[in-house]
Amino acid sequence: MSAAPPAISTPDPIGPGHRVTLGETLPLHLDCGLDLGPYQVAYCTYGRLNADKSNAILVCHALTGDQHAASTHPVTGKPGWWGTMIGPGKVIDTDRFFIVCANVLGGCMGSTGPKEINPATGQPYGLNFPVITIRDMVNAQAMLLDHLGIRELFCVIGGSMGGMQVLQWAASYPERVFAAVPIASAARHSAQNIAFHEVGRQAIYSDPDWREGGYLAHGVIPKNGLAVARMAAHITYLSEAALHRKFGRNLQNRERITYGFEADFQVESYLRHQGSTFVERFDANSYLYITRAMDYFDLAAQSGGNLANVFKGSKTRFCVVSFTSDWLFPTPENKEIVRALNAAAANVSFVEIETDKGHDAFLLDEPEMFSTLKGFIDGCAEVRGLNGNSSNGARS
């Protein structure tokens, strides 16, 4: 049986990053019960690993993010999604730390996911890809770090679904995580968030070009469905105040309403743009799988329903961050994490940042977040003995 090349050509998703094949001898045992192997993980690194490999920071990306956190995106040509946070002298200082960011399992930027070729069939996995969980993603990252020879992470950090991975890291590998920073996250996905994800998935299922998940073999992509999913989700990433401030009821390149269904309002034009650009860089089946992984996330359920038990005995230093206008992962859900950590006698600080930018604030220029995280990371680095030039060897 010869492997048919995917009919949709996409730019190289790896760019200046790397890709490694893992699980060849020992497969990844997934939560669903299946074994996955071999599989691939695509990742980027920034900065240099020091001699004793103690300065590594794992950055975990959100639902539609990827490994290109601080370098130009090879598909869109845009700057990395966390370029504000990662760089020389920045909060996540590439002069001092070695940063690893990996495309999640199930993703579409080079890590094994529904878009990639199933070695067993020579065809894209499509819906034959197993349903994965946040813990599966984290276990795959752990195998990547094993491959890189990094036993302990100085810090694991991420926002939204990235924060879920941070919590799972601290729960699954407490001895490997010195500091953990879950931002705008939750220990379990709420009913409302599952509902929004289900709407997005239904939009994809409804697109005839989805072809029951087999679109790649048919040379089509369900771009309309994926765009609708993105538009619905995008509203939840912002706040009403931010939408009002940015767009209000301003009209798009016209002086009056047209009494029609064109994008009279700027906010409509903005949303349409969000939808149409998203489909250029993201795979619809990946969207299904990753939203499902988030829906399934319920950390307490891994420990008999008691979240504090998950963190019992943890020596990890936590900094939990939330945003006042985030209604997707609102402050009360972040406080639940803090309460559980306190109940587990863990070392935890918590900061709620005042902003009107909504959930996406973690991706934006948010000075109070920068100063909060700089203080926490620098403090942890001092305790970890990472502040001297001699110990990190990363200065050029």
Positions in 224-243 near a copy of itself (CB under 8 A) = 224-225, 227-228, 231-232, 235, 238, 240, 243
326 in catalytic set: yes
Amino acid in the structure at residue 261: F
| Piece of the chain touching a copy of itself by CB under 8 A; list 17-25, 28-36, 67-75, 77-85 | 28-36
Shortest distance in whole angstroms from residue 358 CB to a copy of itself: 10
List the one residue out of 124, 106, 139 whose CA is nearest residue 26.
139
35 in catalytic set: no
Among 61, 68, 73, 201, binds a copy of itself (CB under 8 A): 201
Among 78, 218, 249, 254, binds a copy of itself (CB under 8 A): 249
Site string for a copy of itself, 303-342 (x = CB under 8 A): ------------------------x--x------------
143, 21 in Cβ contact below 8 A?
no
Give ∠ CA 276-72-225 in degrees, rounded to 5: 20
Which structure tokens are listed for 303? 């420990």
Query: Which among 111, 160, 286, 322 is annotated as catalytic?
Result: 160
Positions in 257-286 near a copy of itself (CB under 8 A) = 257, 259-261, 263-265, 267-268, 271-272, 275
H or E stretch covering 25: none
Using CA atoms, how far apart are residues 136 and 127, in angstroms rounded to an integer? 17
In order, the DSSP letters of 72-104 are --TTT-PPPTTTTTEETTSSEETTT-EEEEEPP
298 binds a copy of itself (CB under 8 A): yes
175 binds a copy of itself (CB under 8 A): no
Residues 6+ away with beta carbon under 8 Å from 261:
none
203 binds a copy of itself (CB under 8 A): yes
Residues 6+ away with beta carbon under 8 Å from 235:
243, 271
131 binds a copy of itself (CB under 8 A): yes
**CB neighbour burial string for 244-277, b if at least 16 within 10 angstroms, e if fewer:** eeebeeebeeeeeeeeeeebbbbbbbbbeebbee
Residue ranges at the known binding site: 230, 360
Q: Which residues bind a copy of itself (CB under 8 A)?
A: 31-33, 127, 130-131, 188-192, 194-196, 198-199, 201-203, 206-208, 224-225, 227-228, 231-232, 235, 238, 240, 243-244, 246-249, 257, 259-261, 263-265, 267-268, 271-272, 275, 288, 292, 295-296, 298, 327, 330
